[in-house]
Every structure is written in structure tokens, then in C-alpha cells.
Amino acid sequence: MYESHFGLSGRPFGETALATAYVATPSRDAAMRRLRYGLEYGQGPVLLMGASGVGKSLLAGRLAADMAATAVHLTYPAMSAADLLAYLAEEFSSGPVESSSAASALRRLREALTALVADGGRPMLIVDEAQLLPEDSFEVLRLLLNFQVAGAPALAMAVVGSDDVAWRLPATLLDRLAARHTLPCLTLSETAAYVAGRLAAAGARGPLFIPEALSALHHAALGVPRRLNHVADLALLIGFAEGAKVVDARVVGIAAREFQADHLAA
């Protein structure tokens, strides 16, 4: 609705977990380096933790893209061990598992991972919302780490979840972690960089938020990217409705109050 008014090619703050929506900031790049090192040199799973909305899924997706991995992103992990095996076998082999037995799914999965590695691929599993995994499914993840091709793990694994996910991981899986990282909220300077990056990706030719508006946006969202997206999107809509060419702190304040009202109503 407001895109043409601000000279944009699309909505810059639409909610997305696509790797292309990633904006490099110091805290995010530090997380990327640490996790990638763990996957490539530690040869074990990595753990990414953080509060809701800080961008864990987006970062994990970008990590897989940067590693040129053949990734399966498990976004709903609350499934039994047998269902998890069948799901992974189908996803990595790109075809249905003919038998419903766990043994058949396991064999199909091993064959698929071996074939991917033999073709030069890098199979990777991203387990999102991992705190929802049942205990027996955690054991499946641990056993999958035993799959090896030419002495190296056949499957890279990133376990992603809330701050308390580490308490749910069994000790046998915790002991094998090659890296762990807690993703923080954005700082004020990172908020400014994030907003500029998302606007640039949407074709903005210059700043659309004045410095005071960026500060107001940061404090309204508490540095949480998901909240930033909502408030910034509302602010652009309100600015468009008022015929403004840039967004000021007053408009951000209105957007923040509307967002808070919608959040409480929900």
C-alpha cells in the first residue's frame, strides 16, 4: 500500500525467515562465525538459543545458505521418534518411505545422507523450537550424529530453541556440542543497521526514518527484530497516510502504541 509512496519495490519489514532477509550486524555475524566454526571444524552439533523473535530461525537459515548445505529445516519438532525418522528420510531422499517401520526409515535416511555426501553435498538438519522435542526424539538426534562417511559426520546439525532448551537436552547430546551461542537483542546501532539493511533490500534510495525515529523504534521494540518489523511496518503505513516523506519519532510512537494495543488484544 505504501510502497510506491516511499519509492520501494516491496514491503521492507514483512515477516520472513528467508536467508535473503538477513542483515549483517556485529552480534549476528559473531554468532554466525562461532556456529559455522563448530559445524565445520568441531564436527558436532551446534546449539543456538535466544528469546522469541530475536531472529534465530533466520540466522540458522542464513548459516545453511552460507555453507551451501542441503538443509532440512524442521519447524515443528513435536513428533515421535518414529515420525521424526520417517520425516527426515523423506525430506533428505526427496521421496516417500515405502515401509512404516523405523528400521526402513533409518536405512533410507542413511542411504540418502551417504549419497548426498558422495555427490559433494553437505546435508544439514536445523531443528527449530527444539524445546518442544519429546525425549525419545532427542535420542534420535544423538544417534543420527553417529552416521559417518569417510570418518566424518554425514549430517551437520543445528539445534535452535528458547533460552531453556539447554535444560532439555540429554547429557549425551550436550557433551557432543561443538558450539553454543545465545543470540541477544539488537543494540541501538544494530537496530539502525537492521532498518537500513531491510530498507535497502526493498529498494529505498535513502533513509526513511530520521535518527530520533530510529531511537524511538529501538526502544519500542526492545531491540527484538520481530517487534521491529511490526512497528516499522506500521510506522511506514501511518507516514504514508499522513503524506510524510520520512518517518519521525512521533509517528513511531503512534505505531508503537497501536502495536502494543494489538498485542494486548491478541
Residue 126: strand pairing partners = 73, 158
CATH of 26-183, one of 3.30.2400.10, 3.40.50.300, 3.30.450.20, 3.40.50.1000: 3.40.50.300
What average pLDDT score do residues 18-22 get?
78
> Measured over all CA atoms, what is the biggest interatomic distance in the chain, rounded to whole angstroms?
63
pLDDT tens-digit map of 93-112:
877 776 668 888 888 999 99
Q: Tell me how far apart the alpha carbons of residues 81 and 195 are, in angstroms, rounded to a whole number.
A: 41
- Residues with Cβ within 8 Å of residue 122, at least 6 apart in sequence: 67, 68, 69, 70, 116, 156
**Class of the CATH-defined domain 3-8+186-265:** mainly alpha
pLDDT for 222 beyond 70: yes
Residue 155, phi then psi, degrees to nearest 5: -130, 120
Q: State residue 105 phi and psi, 5-degree precision.
A: -65, -40
Backbone angles phi, psi at 180, to 5 degrees: -140, 145
Is the distance from CB of 124 to CB of 66 less than 8 angstroms? Answer: no
Cell output for 79: 513428533
- Residue 17: per-residue pLDDT: 67
Question: Over the stretch 60-89, which tens digit does the pLDDT of each residue have?
Answer: 999 999 998 899 999 999 999 999 999 999
pLDDT in tens, 22-35: 999 999 999 999 99
How far apart are alpha carbons 255 and 241 in whole angstroms?
A: 12
Structural domain boundaries of the chain? 3-8+186-265, 26-183
Non-local CB neighbours of 1 within 8 Å, separated by 6+ positions = 237, 240
